[in-house]
Amino acid sequence: MKFEKIRSEELKRRLRARKISGLALDIDDTLSHTDQHWFNQVNMRLGNPENMTFRETAKKYGREERIPHWQTQKGKRLVKKLIHSNKFQVDISLIAGSNRAVQKINRIIPIVAYLSSRPSSVWAGTRQWLSKHGFPDAPIILLPSNVAHHKGIEWKARRIKFLYPEVQGIIDDHPALQKELKTIGYLGRLFMYDSGGNAHHYHPRVARFRSWSDILKEIKNFAK
């Protein structure tokens, strides 16, 4: 089990020196059911006053920072604690088939990094989760401690642009990432995985893939 923690500058240097190019992968809600895990774990501790399912809550509020009973002092302390919990990361369930699809993609175009806006404090849990589910070994880039959590998407967009062309593209799910990359003039590829939960947040012309088999087909075409 490697999955070493790395800075984007070092990754770019290594890839350039070895003349390797490939793809980066997001983790949360791309490989793992992170939002649903958040919902279950926080409501288990705070309760569920509206008695709504995860899907109903996501449809009504969109992002977790808009869920009213999470915005109390107790709720905010709990969320902050879980953000930095390695055990929390290890226990997130796998999006079915994502690991098998990624293994196949890795044989077509190398997976050269996992790039996530999770804080760097959860590298150990992230590493354990990736290894447990049989994902290809590649370095992990996480949000530095000096970058605020709410700035994670902006930070990620800048890292993706910096790593191009050694990192030719990324598979990600976050609706805001496409806008950030367009704003800063990114030239690589963005493969948007959408399991349905974020559908109403995307621009209608954003190319989305609703299954890992569809992403695999698209990457086979991209490799040609």
3, 39, 85, 147, 203 from 124: Cα distances, Å: 9, 22, 10, 19, 35
Check residue 204 and give its pLDDT. Answer: 47
**Which of 164, 171, 209 is closest to 188 using CA atoms?**
164
Given CA atoms 131, 135, 138, 140 in this order, what sign does their dihedral have?
negative
163, 16 contact by CB (below 8 A): no
Check residue 54 and give its pLDDT. Answer: 86
Output the six-digit token pair for 26.
């997001």
pLDDT in tens, 9-44: 999 999 999 999 999 999 999 999 998 999 999 988
Check residue 175 and give its pLDDT. Answer: 83
Give 140's strand partners: 5, 114
pTM of the model: 0.92
Residue-wise burial string across 144-156, b where 16 or more C-beta atoms lie within 10 A, e elsewhere: eeeeeeeebbbbb
Q: What is the residue extent of each domain of the chain?
A: 8-32+94-223, 35-90
How far apart, in whole angstroms, are the C-alpha atoms of residue 46 and residue 80? 14
Output the six-digit token pair for 164.
């191009």
Which ranges in the chain belong to alpha helices (H)? Answer: 8-18, 34-46, 54-61, 73-83, 86-90, 98-108, 123-132, 152-163, 175-183, 212-223
User: What would be the CATH architecture of the domain defined by 8-32+94-223?
Assistant: 3-Layer(aba) Sandwich (3.40)
Residues of the chain with pLDDT under 50: 199-200, 202, 204-205
